[in-house]
Amino acid sequence: MRKNRLIVIVTSLFLIAGVSVLTFSPSFGQGKKEELQKQRDDLNAKIALTKKLINESESNQKVTSSQLSILNEQLKYREQLLRNINSDISGIEKEIGSKESNINSLNSSMDHLKKEYSQMVLQAYKNRSSYDKLMFIFSSKNFNQAIKRLKLTQHYAEVRKRHVDEIVSIKASISQNISALQQDKQQKESLATAKVKEKEEINKNKQDQQLKLTSLQKEEKKLREQQKKQEQDRKKLAAKIEEIIRKEIAEAARKEREKEEAEAKSAAKAGNTSGAKPPVENTSKKPNISAAPEVVALNKDFENNKGTLPWPVSAGVITQRFGKHPHASIAGVEVNSNGVDFATEKGASVLAVFEGKVTSIFNIPGAGQNVIVTHGSYKTVYSGLSEVNVAVGDKVSIKQKIGNIMYDGDEYLLHFEVWKVNSETGVAQNPEAWIKKR
């Protein structure tokens, strides 16, 4: 009889050891969800800005090409937002499935533990007498077996307590999973509502886009005149920049010649005393204005920040991009831009994108003031300013205000360029490759 009780006890212990307890774990996609929420906040801020810029522009009762460009950007942001919402909903659906599966597993484990615990309680009741426990120990064949039986009874009591603790823990885990599941379902419902709203806004944007395009097509003659004037202004700007660069290269060449002449005279003087022939001057050598140590250091700093430079406006939308591309609203017209255009708010400031020295300030009639800041052999150009807050020779720091944007009768627009100067000429760079992506 005592042998049978021993077998039951040992069997119960092995059964307990085999039960796996599932505990609640935090959502595996929490980091991803936070990232998606951050992206949504950023996109909503961009959408709000585009709506504000369009409203400000429409207040003058005019439809402009920039309005269409801003609306195109808004539509792009909304489509990105819709993809973001779909991604978040998909992730939440996976989490809901995972939590439901976890709850089912926990319930199954709970049922198994309860069954085993009831068997343990029943067995403990049958063996509740202290006399039976003592007899179970004293009936041992030898001292070692008695010690083992004593430890077994002690361990059996510990296992019963741990069993209770595990049941309590599983109950808490089920409760946490259910609570998290309810939160996920609520969030999914909220995102589903936002998704429907965003689809409606996208359809409205597309309708507005078509209406503006139709209105602009009716004003094609005026738009062509505006485009022609802008091309002329940009050509004047490019010619001025190239003139400034040629002068800098010529000045560098002059300094190089003076240096070589001084070295030649010094060598000739030394040669007269030693009988050696003076060196022949190399007139074909071109100056490398990027070779000076201080220029090399500035170039490295500027280049190390490629792709991370701040925008020259605190808030804005790019309405015209770098290089050759079709005009946004005039069929058959190709635009070739050395920089990018930023549509921005009334009273917006122009900010230096990197530390440097103001080397040129000039005016283009009808196109506003222009400021060039030099960063080693790189230059940043800020065009379309109503007023300037710096002077030639000033050193500026990153994000320092250098002026205000001019209102051209339709909108507040900053034209921004990046140039690199070599030994022969200047080469326009794509500003979007240098500034931080938004």
In a domain, 389, yes or no: yes
214, 327: one domain? no
pLDDT of residue 172: 76
Q: Are 67 and 83 in contact (CB under 8 A)?
A: no
State the CATH number of the domain containing residue 97. Answer: 1.10.287
210, 295: one domain? no
Check: pTM over 0.85? Answer yes or no: no
Domain boundary among 218, 246, 275: 218
- CA dihedral of 314, 319, 324, 328, whole degrees rounded to 10: 180
Instruction: Please give the chain's pLDDT, 438 residues, in tens.
Output: 444 444 444 444 444 444 444 444 444 467 777 888 888 888 888 788 777 777 766 665 555 677 778 888 888 888 888 888 888 888 888 877 877 887 787 777 777 777 776 776 676 666 555 546 666 666 777 878 778 766 766 676 676 667 677 777 777 777 777 777 777 788 788 888 888 888 888 888 877 777 777 776 666 666 677 777 777 888 888 888 888 888 888 887 787 788 778 877 887 777 665 555 555 545 445 555 555 666 777 888 999 999 999 999 988 889 888 988 777 666 667 778 899 999 888 888 999 999 999 999 999 887 889 999 999 889 999 999 999 999 999 999 999 999 999 887 777 889 999 999 887 788 999 999 999 987
pLDDT of residue 223: 67
Domain boundary among 218, 239, 273: 218
103, 209: one domain? yes
39, 167: one domain? yes
Question: Which of 127, 96, 163 is closest to 9 using CA atoms?
Answer: 127
199, 344: one domain? no
In a domain, 238, yes or no: no
pLDDT of residue 134: 63
In a domain, 258, yes or no: no
State the CATH number of the domain containing residue 345. Answer: 2.70.70.10
Q: What are residue 336's DSSP bridge partners? A: 324
pLDDT of residue 387: 92
Which position has the token pair 């936070």?
Answer: 34
Please count the structural domains in the chain. 2
Domain boundary among 175, 193, 218: 218
**388's torsion region: left (phi>0), alpha (psi -120 to 50) or beta?**
beta
Q: Which domain holds residue 420?
A: 291-433
In a domain, 265, yes or no: no
179, 308: one domain? no
The Cα–Cα gap between 75 and 80 comes to: 9
Q: Are 336 and 324 in contact (CB under 8 A)?
A: yes
